[in-house]
Homo-oligomer: A and B are copies of this chain.
Amino acid sequence: MPRSDGREPQIMRPVKIKAGVNPYAEGSAMCSFGRTTVLCTASLEEGVPPFLSDSGQGWVTAEYAMLPRSTHTRTRREASKKGRAQEISRLIGRSLRAAVDMKNIEGYTIRVDCDVMVADGGTRTASISGGYVALALALGKIGVRPKETIAAISLGKVDGVLMADLAYDEDSAAEVDLNLVLTRNGELVEVQGSAEKGLFDPAELSRMVELGFAVSKDIFSAQDLALGQKD
């Protein structure tokens, strides 16, 4: 049961993150997991949403969208407004907020836009992993450092085999699909597992979580490299 690109099940695709790709954004990164590619820009704006006024806190939020031809066949632009894209936008926002102490960015809102250039599975995990780099660069503009380093990885069970970083064809065929957002320190930020076409038991969940932490090292390395290049 080989993978379409010949990878072993527990190996993730090549991770590349290039920082500073946009001339205007306070932080930006192009992040790819194999063929999947996401442009992440972080915009630093003065002001906070109404529910945070006079709270002594800032805010981090995110928007996720797919370019029409990021997909094998063209996707209508309107689809980016729909529920699935909004759900992913909220996931990215929550994940990136875990990286920042909101008191350190009082008076600021940072908007991270994740626009998918090529979608071959794992667009939300590449968005979070690249979005972290864009966010860190924007934080640097106001002299703030992240409190946690954040990455995200997908795992799944395909034909009964646990796999890391599913490509599009694998994701479509998976019995179980699990997305993890995690920190370099070994803690979890988000766990989203779904088994519409199959089921999974607690032991399988534990093994997928373990595998996720193992492969996330590749992402943290690529983030380090990208952020080091900018210094």
Select A194's contact among B94, B111, B117, B201, beta carbons within 8 Å. Answer: B94
Q: Are B28 and A69 in contact (CB under 8 A)?
A: yes
Q: Are B178 and A191 in contact (CB under 8 A)?
A: yes
Q: Are B187 and A200 in contact (CB under 8 A)?
A: yes
Contacts of A86 in B (CB 8 A): 82-83, 86-87
Contacts of A192 in B (CB 8 A): 191-193
Per-residue B-contact encoding for A13-24, CB less than 8 Å = 1, 0 else:
000000000111
Q: Among A63, A194, A206, which residue has the most Cβ atoms of chain B within 10 A?
A: A194
Q: Are A69 and B83 in contact (CB under 8 A)?
A: no
Q: Are B195 and A202 in contact (CB under 8 A)?
A: no
Q: Are B205 and A194 in contact (CB under 8 A)?
A: no
A21 to B164 CA separation, bound complex (whole angstroms): 27
Contacts of A111 in B (CB 8 A): 68, 74
A177 to B45 CA separation, bound complex (whole angstroms): 30
Per-residue B-contact encoding for A167-187, CB less than 8 Å = 1, 0 else:
000000000001000010011
**Any chain B CB within 8 A of the CB of A7?**
no
**Any chain B CB within 8 A of the CB of A53?**
no
**Any chain B CB within 8 A of the CB of A72?**
yes
A1 to B196 CA separation, bound complex (whole angstroms): 38
Q: Could you tell me the distance in whole angstroms from the C-beta of A139 to the nearest C-beta in chain B? A: 16
Per-residue B-contact encoding for A105-139, CB less than 8 Å = 1, 0 else:
00000010101011000000000000000000000
Q: Are B94 and A77 in contact (CB under 8 A)?
A: no
**Any chain B CB within 8 A of the CB of A227?**
no
Q: Are A25 and B69 in contact (CB under 8 A)?
A: yes
**Any chain B CB within 8 A of the CB of A67?**
yes
> 7 shortest A-B CB distances, which residue pairs?
A83-B86, A187-B199, A41-B69, A191-B193, A43-B74, A25-B69, A87-B87
Question: Which of A's residues lie within 8 Å of B, judged by CB?
Answer: 22-25, 28, 35, 39, 41, 43, 45, 63, 65, 67-74, 77, 80, 82-84, 86-87, 89-90, 94, 97-98, 111, 113, 115, 117-118, 148, 178, 183, 186-196, 199-202, 205-206, 209-210, 213
